[in-house]
């Protein structure tokens, strides 16, 4: 059985300069192979110290047991501020807690039913668009996945499709923004020495400004609709009308712009990455593609999918889960130790960077059986379920876990089922995809597939 693609590891020992160079090219292949076996690894340099933790109880300690003692690193903030301002993704402490109290109710399990029709419409749009591309010619599926995930976010947040003029301009500006600083955001995620230049290039500042002014237009218009009592019942309205249960305050327009920017960025880049890799996995493993197609056919027939049918897509969900294990869209997260700690009998100084790596934890050789194999059936076993509990964090965990996790799991499974119900996806000979970490885990030169109608 051929294994799905995995980034190569770097040689065991390299100089700091070489490491930084490799790191700038791709954070994943800059790491040594031993991280797939280690419970903890210390990186000592003259400038900083960081600890990558793979031991499940350490990961639990940082994310779940004492998260307030391991806040987000200030370095994360640096690269992201021009775009995200004071958004929930970069704040800490009381400010962050207040923001989550207002945001979380919009994503509660029961509300997913309300966003389902908007996801469905985005899926139908994609099924139609792929019709023009389903001629067996090589196609970069990442571009399609990005377009689709952006459509989902605009429809669920603001009840507008990606074809809407402002939505299309935001989407275009995000792409331009990523081109101006493809790895800068990730550079901020890793403890590079403070003096190392992390240019917020002028171009990046300009594109961030364009995005924020477009989002401001959407947010102001919605504030007016809320005031007039004419606002649609989507995510934006829910968030803008939710008062903090502790203080009674709501987000003002400026704060809402910050939050919308992160919803768009976190919600569309990640889902697009996951969908692109899931389709690639189905192309590489056609037996799983047949199962997904059969499951979609059995659940939906030729009709419109309904929310209540989603629970029937058990194997499709396992395919999506397995994709998130092998290609976690957010490959690494960084926290900072506030107090002195002892991890695995080693003293950790305050200010040390604690790196949690879904990428390594999900492929850990001492935790997972056949860690590099694509095997969605593993989740039907007791062992697979135990690993899910102990060593599976594509959405992080604990109080700071992704608020969009439930949303993303419905979205990913629905879109996969809808696309595979209509089309067959095959790999393009001579064009394998290779994962690299940009803002999320993407194909080095895209993800190329051949699409044909299923019947």
> Contact with ligand HEM (CB under 6 A): which of 20, 141, 262, 410?
262
Q: Pick between residue 181 and residue 396 the one whose CB is nearest to ligand HEM.
A: 396
> Contact with ligand HEM (CB under 6 A): which of 337, 396, 418, 437?
396
Calpha distance 355→75 (Å, rounded): 13
Q: Pick between residue 289 and residue 396 the one whose CB is nearest to ligand HEM.
A: 396
Calpha distance 164→150 (Å, rounded): 12
The Cα diameter of the chain in Å comes to 64
Provide the β-strand partners of residue 354: 51, 335
Give CA 315 to chain center in angstroms: 21
Provide the minimum distance between the beta carbon of 6 and ligand HEM in the complex, in angstroms, as a whole number. Answer: 18
In eight-state DSSP terms, residue 68 is G
Q: Pick between residue 60 and residue 426 the one whose CB is nearest to ligand HEM.
A: 60
Q: In terms of DSSP bridges, do strands 346-348 and 49-53 run parallel, antiparallel, or are they unpaired?
A: unpaired
Residues 6+ apart with CB under 8 A from 149: 267, 268, 269, 271, 272, 275, 411
> Contact with ligand HEM (CB under 6 A): which of 266, 354, 414, 415?
266
Q: In terms of DSSP bridges, do strands 441-443 and 435-437 run parallel, antiparallel, or are they unpaired?
A: antiparallel
Bin 75: left if φ > 0, else alpha if -120 < ψ < 50, else beta: alpha
- Asked whether position 404 contacts ligand HEM by CB under 6 A, the answer is yes
> Contact with ligand HEM (CB under 6 A): which of 403, 413, 422, 425?
403
CB neighbours of residue 39 within 10 Å: 16
Residue tagged 């700091």 (tokens):
16
Provide the minimum distance between the beta carbon of 188 and ligand HEM in the complex, in angstroms, as a whole number. Answer: 11
Q: Among the candidate windows 10-18, 221-229, 390-398, 414-422, which touches ligand HEM by CB under 6 A?
A: 390-398
Residue tagged 């509990």 (tokens):
389
- Asked whether position 400 contacts ligand HEM by CB under 6 A, the answer is yes
Calpha distance 426→19 (Å, rounded): 36
Residues 72-91 that bind ligand HEM (CB under 6 A): 88-89
Q: Pick between residue 266 and residue 348 the one whose CB is nearest to ligand HEM.
A: 266
- Asked whether position 352 contacts ligand HEM by CB under 6 A, the answer is no
Residues 185-214 that bind ligand HEM (CB under 6 A): none
Tokens of 380: 């039907």
CB neighbours of residue 135 within 10 Å: 11
The footprint of ligand HEM on this chain (CB under 6 A) covers a number of residues equal to 22
Provide the minimum distance between the beta carbon of 229 and ligand HEM in the complex, in angstroms, as a whole number. Answer: 25
Give CA 223 to chain center in angstroms: 28
Provide the minimum distance between the beta carbon of 381 and ligand HEM in the complex, in angstroms, as a whole number. Answer: 23
Provide the minimum distance between the beta carbon of 303 and ligand HEM in the complex, in angstroms, as a whole number. Answer: 26
User: In a 3-state reduction of DSSP, which class is residue 253?
Assistant: helix
- Asked whether position 394 contacts ligand HEM by CB under 6 A, the answer is yes
Q: Which residue's CB comes closest to ligand HEM?
A: 404
In eight-state DSSP terms, residue 63 is I
> What ranges make up the beta strands (E) of 65-164?
138-140
Q: Pick between residue 64 and residue 206 the one whose CB is nearest to ligand HEM.
A: 64
CB 367 within 8 A of CB 390: yes
> Contact with ligand HEM (CB under 6 A): which of 27, 211, 215, 333?
333
Q: What is the dihedral of CA 128, 133, 138, 140, to 10 degrees?
A: -50
Q: Among the candidate windows 32-40, 42-50, 262-270, 345-353, which touches ligand HEM by CB under 6 A?
A: 262-270
Q: What is the DSSP string of 238-260?
A: HHHHPPPTTT-----HHHHHHHH
Provide the minimum distance between the beta carbon of 57 and ligand HEM in the complex, in angstroms, as a whole number. Answer: 19
Provide the minimum distance between the beta carbon of 415 and ligand HEM in the complex, in angstroms, as a whole number. Answer: 11
> Contact with ligand HEM (CB under 6 A): which of 160, 236, 240, 274?
274
Binding flags for ligand HEM, 280-319, as an x/- string (CB under 6 A): ----------------------------------------
CB 152 within 8 A of CB 118: yes
Q: Could you give phi then psi for residue 378, rounded to 5 degrees?
A: -60, -25
> Contact with ligand HEM (CB under 6 A): which of 237, 270, 316, 357?
270
Tokens of 181: 């600083």
Calpha distance 451→138 (Å, rounded): 8
- Asked whether position 277 contacts ligand HEM by CB under 6 A, the answer is no
Q: Among the candidate windows 221-229, 327-335, 338-346, 372-380, which touches ligand HEM by CB under 6 A?
A: 327-335
Q: Among the candidate windows 239-247, 279-287, 380-388, 403-411, which touches ligand HEM by CB under 6 A?
A: 403-411
Question: Binding residues for ligand HEM, per CB under 6 A?
Answer: 88-89, 100, 262-263, 266-267, 270-271, 274, 329-330, 333, 394-396, 400, 402-404, 407-408
């Amino acid at each position: 059985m051929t294994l799905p693609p995995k980034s190569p590891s770097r040689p065991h020992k390299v100089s700091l300069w070489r490491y930084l160079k490799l790191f700038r090219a791709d954070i994943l292949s800059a790491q040594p192979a031993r991280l797939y076996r280690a419970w903890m690894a210390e990186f000592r340099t003259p400038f900083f110290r960081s600890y990558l933790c793979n031991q499940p109880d350490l990961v639990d300690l940082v994310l779940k047991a004492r998260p307030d003692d391991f806040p987000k690193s200030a370095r994360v903030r640096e690269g992201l501020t021009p775009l995200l301002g004071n958004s929930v993704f970069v704040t800490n402490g009381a400010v962050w807690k207040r923001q989550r109290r207002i945001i979380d109710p919009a994503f509660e399990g029961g509300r997913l039913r309300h966003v389902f029709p908007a996801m469905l419409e985005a899926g139908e749009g994609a099924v139609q668009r792929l019709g023009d591309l389903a001629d067996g010619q090589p196609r970069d599926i990442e571009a399609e996945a990005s377009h689709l995930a952006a459509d989902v976010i605009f429809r669920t947040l603001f009840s507008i499709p990606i074809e809407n003029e402002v939505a299309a301009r935001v989407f275009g500006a995000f792409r331009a923004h990523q081109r101006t600083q493809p790895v800068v955001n990730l550079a901020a995620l890793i403890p590079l020495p403070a003096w190392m230049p992390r240019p917020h290039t002028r171009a990046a500042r300009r594109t961030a400004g364009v995005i924020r002014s477009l989002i401001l237009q959407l947010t102001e218009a919605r504030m007016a609709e809320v005031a007039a009592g004419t606002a649609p019942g989507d995510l934006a309205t829910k968030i803008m009308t939710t008062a903090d249960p502790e203080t009674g305050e709501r987000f003002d327009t400026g704060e809402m712009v910050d939050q919308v920017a992160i919803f768009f960025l976190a919600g569309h880049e990640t889902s697009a990455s996951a969908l692109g890799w899931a389709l690639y996995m189905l192309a590489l493993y056609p037996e799983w593609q047949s199962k997904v197609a059969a499951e979609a056919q059995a659940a939906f027939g030729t009709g419109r999918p309904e929310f209540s049918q989603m629970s029937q897509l058990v194997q499709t969900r396992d395919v999506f889960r397995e994709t998130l294990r092998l290609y976690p869209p957010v490959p690494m997260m960084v926290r900072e130790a506030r107090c002195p700690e002892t991890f695995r009998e080693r003293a950790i100084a305050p200010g040390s960077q604690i790196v949690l790596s879904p990428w390594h934890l999900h492929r850990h050789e001492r935790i997972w059986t056949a860690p590099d194999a694509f095997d969605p059936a593993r989740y039907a076993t007791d062992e697979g379920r135990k690993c899910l509990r102990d060593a599976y964090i594509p959405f992080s965990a604990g109080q700071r876990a992704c608020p969009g996790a439930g949303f993303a799991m419905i979205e990913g499974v629905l879109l996969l089922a809808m696309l595979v119900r209509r089309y067959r996806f095959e790999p393009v000979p001579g064009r394998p995809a290779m994962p690299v970490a940009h803002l999320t885990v993407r194909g080095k030169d895209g993800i190329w597939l051949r699409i044909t109608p299923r019947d």
